[in-house]
Amino acid sequence: MATTQRPLPLDCYVILHIRSGPPWPDPAKAPQIAADAPFELSEDIWIEKFDKEFAIHIQEACEPANHRLDNHVWDRHLYAFVRRQPENERLCLARTVVRNEGIIPLFAVMALSRLIRPTTIGNRYCAKIYPQPATDPPIQALLMSGANPDVTIADGSQDWLSPADGRELRKLMPWVSPNKQIHTRVHRAFWNHEDAMRSYFLDFRFPIVVAGLEALTTVEKGPGATARFIRRAGQVASEFGINLSKEELEQAYALRSEVVHGRSFLHTLDGVLTQSEHRPLYDKLESLLRATVKKCLLDENFGQRFVNDQAVLKNYP
């Protein structure tokens, strides 16, 4: 728990990261971001660990109420992403403001954070904190449609951001702005990565991650697509020191094709690759996609390799 009492984050949007599996982090072995103080990400966005009672109030607001049955809630939050409510929204000066749209940048921050470390944070505990009273403010649950569950298929041994992760996330914060445009290929790959992060099912994640790599490297259409994917994905993997052999990339593309065209589920494809090897291969592909997208966003020169077809052909012939 936090060691100091801090003022409540009034007039803010929050998204709680709830401990869904692993035990509390041992500060000596795995320091947790914002354990004792807010971790600033930008002028109006930060990460904070709340007071126990306040965290429970947010969870109570966001969890469905039972009928004739107490809903006993205990503090399960690790920390929260927080954003101060924008001035134009708070003062209602802009007619074009959509209600509660101020929380939207926090979703971008979550997605960017997963390029550094995939965690189970999701849309389940989204709320708006009103400005007063300061000691016990109203809390409005914001129900978000879509893929909301707190999802991971990782081992869960570190389901939180560390201070070092936070410092890297700060470097990615410029991409939260809607005015900063991501190259189309990188944008599609980033979208695929986040889409994969929100599903429990390897049958869904496998083709989505392969599609993310295709978004980065595919130029020509027609015959030879498999060979070109294998060659270029292999070149990118070599740059990041990810050991993906030609045979593994052939197997990955074959698995992707069988699933995406509705011919099979992964568990029936032992003829392509034994079931026990599906997950290790997937983990390599996901790591490659994540590393590539992150470097594109952090290193402008590297990102230029995917700016258009000609750049891809030049750098990954």
Q: What is the pLDDT of residues 69-122, one digit of tens each?
A: 887 888 889 999 999 998 877 766 544 445 688 899 999 999 999 999 998 888
For residues 204 and 308, membership in a common domain is answered with yes
- Is residue 45 located within the same domain as residue 100? yes
Cα–Cα distance between 208 and 259 in angstroms, integer? 11
Give me the number of domains the chain comprises: 2
With a CB cutoff of 8 Å and minimum separation 6, the contacts of 3 are 36
Q: How far apart are CA 141 and CA 159, in angstroms?
A: 24
Domain that holds residue 54: 12-176
Q: How, if at all, do strands 12-18 and 45-48 pair?
A: unpaired
User: Are 19 and 159 in the same domain?
Assistant: yes
Q: Are residues 192 and 225 in the same domain?
A: yes
Percent of the chain with pLDDT over 70: 89
- Residue where one domain finishes, among candidates 176, 200, 220: 176
Name the percent of the chain lying above pLDDT 90. 56
Q: What is the pLDDT of residues 140-186, one digit of tens each?
A: 999 876 555 566 666 667 888 999 999 999 999 999 998 899 999 99
Measured distance CA(267)–CA(272) in Å, rounded: 11
Q: How far apart are CA 225 and CA 214, in angstroms?
A: 10
The answer to whether the beta carbons of residues 189 and 294 sit under 8 Å apart is no
Contacts for 226 with CB less than 8 Å, ≥ 6 apart: 250, 253
- Is residue 292 located within the same domain as residue 257? yes
| Residue 6 covered by a domain | no
Residues 191 and 277 in one domain: yes
- DSSP secondary structure string for all residues of 276-290: GGHHHHHHHHHHHHH
- DSSP assignment of 56-97 equals HHHHHHHSPPPSSS-------EEEEEEEEPPHHHHHT--TTP
The residue assigned the tokens 């979550």 is 110
Tokens 């889409």, residue located? 195
Distance (Å, whole) CA 97 – CA 87: 11
